[in-house]
Structure 1
Amino acid sequence: MAGDAEATKKRLLQAARKEFGAYGIAGARVDRIAAESGSNKAQIYHYFGSKDGLFDAVFNEIVEHTVSAVPIDPTDLPEYAGRLFDGYEQYPEVQRLATWYRLERAGTTDPLDAIVESNRHKTEAIAQAQRDGVLPSRYEPIVLLSLVIHQATLWANMTPEYAALVEHTSSADRRKVVTESVAALLRD
């Protein structure tokens, strides 16, 4: 029976990820999530408490996956940005979910511990690499981390109108722009 519950939760999370990515928190409908998952609305409330609780579970799962799947390497920030880019290419809904999170949750919830801890670890790693002379000290560690992350999301955050202008650009070419632009940030 526990296996059935876990399988149901997994299906609900997968359907919710798709629904929230498309419609955000306010626009998502639990009846569509239930139908897509082959479950029912009562199970959503049983396992997650509310639609907001379900969104939190989806977002937490994405954060945990990204943090563990793409660890920072302060000695190779261009490749770190490239691996982040790869993840956004493979899972385009991640950036949409992050955007919905910023739009609909800004200032309304406590910061997620996994993100806070991950950012602390990353900035400490960058600071140490700067002290060791591996990275330039032109930017404070948090600024450098921000620049790297934003370069990695460059293509994922384009407006549809701009995306149409660069639709001929291959994934490999887009990745190259990301890694080369981060490499340029690091030149003294």
Structure 2
Amino acid sequence: MAWDTEGTRRRLKDAATAEFAERGREGTTMSRIAARAGINKERLYSYFGDKQALWDLVLAEQLELLAAGVRATGTGLDDVGEFAGATFDHHADHPVLARLLQWEGLDGTGRVAGREGRSRHYREKVERFAAAQRAGTIDDGLDPAHLVFALIALAAWWHTVPQLASMLTGAEPGDPAERAARRAFVVEAARRLAAPRRSPADGPGPGQV
């Protein structure tokens, strides 16, 4: 019978993703990952190399999903809001990502998986926001890098510390109505954060009286 190589690789990556999300890179072992997948440890090493290489691969795969699902394609306030909303949706649907990023931040060595590619990806977003500032569609008084970071934090923190969100709102994240309310808040807060500042001489802005 032919060996299902791709199926085996996927089972091992899924097991590694779950283990790393639960325990971090240092908190688990290749033996635990192999046992979780129900596959021989030697096959895990032969497919992916050492644990560091497997960690890098798992995190890169999760970040590729994020990049594919969340795109800053416009320069208007509605685009900023939808960027934040899409970020919220992605973290809600892929909760392992926040855990992996937290473990990476707690590593203590300063090592960042795929730093060059990730930095390029985020710099592209910063440049797009800077272009929107030059066009006058969003507030030019904010550092664009700081603004991108704030929007990501605004959207992702609901899923990074769900216990805090539940204590504050009295609702659980699995409640569809609460999820919709949180997303709506993220979108509107992002728009307000990025909105150009108006002087009294400008008169009332949209929706203001």
Both structures adopt the same fold (TM-score exceeding 0.5): yes
2:129 is the counterpart of 1:121: no
Contact 2:87 2:155 in 1 (8 A): yes
Q: 1:1-188, aligned counterparts within 5 Å?
A: 4-73=4-73, 74-75=75-76, 76-104=79-107, 106-109=109-112, 112-158=115-161, 160=163, 163-168=166-171, 170-187=178-195, 188=197
Instruction: From the superposition, tell whether residues 116 and 155 of structure 1 become closer, same or farther in structure 2 (CA, over 3 Å).
Output: same
Between 4-13 and 89-98, report the one with greater CA deviation.
4-13
Q: Counterpart amino acid of 1:181?
A: A
Distance 1:99 1:33 in 2: 20
Distance 2:93 2:9 in 1: 23
TM-score (structure 1 length as normaliser): 0.89
Between 50-59 and 152-161, report the one with greater CA deviation.
152-161
Contact 1:44 1:54 in 2 (8 A): no
Instruction: From the superposition, tell whether residues 15 and 167 of structure 1 become closer, same or farther in structure 2 (CA, over 3 Å).
Output: farther
TM-score (structure 2 length as normaliser): 0.81
Indicate the RMSD between aligned Cα atoms, in angstroms.
2.2
How many residues are treated as equivalent by the alignment?
Answer: 188
Percent identity reads 34
Residue aligned with 2:171, SS: coil
Shift of 1:118: 0.6
Shift of 1:3: 8.0
Residue aligned with 2:111, SS: coil
Instruction: From the superposition, tell whether residues 175 and 161 of structure 1 become closer, same or farther in structure 2 (CA, over 3 Å).
Output: closer
Shift of 1:133: 1.5
Unaligned residue ranges in structure 1 (runs of 5+): none
Unaligned residue ranges in structure 2 (runs of 5+): 173-177, 198-209
Contact 1:25 1:100 in 2 (8 A): yes
Residue aligned with 1:138, SS: coil
Shift of 1:68: 1.8
Larger radius of gyration: 2
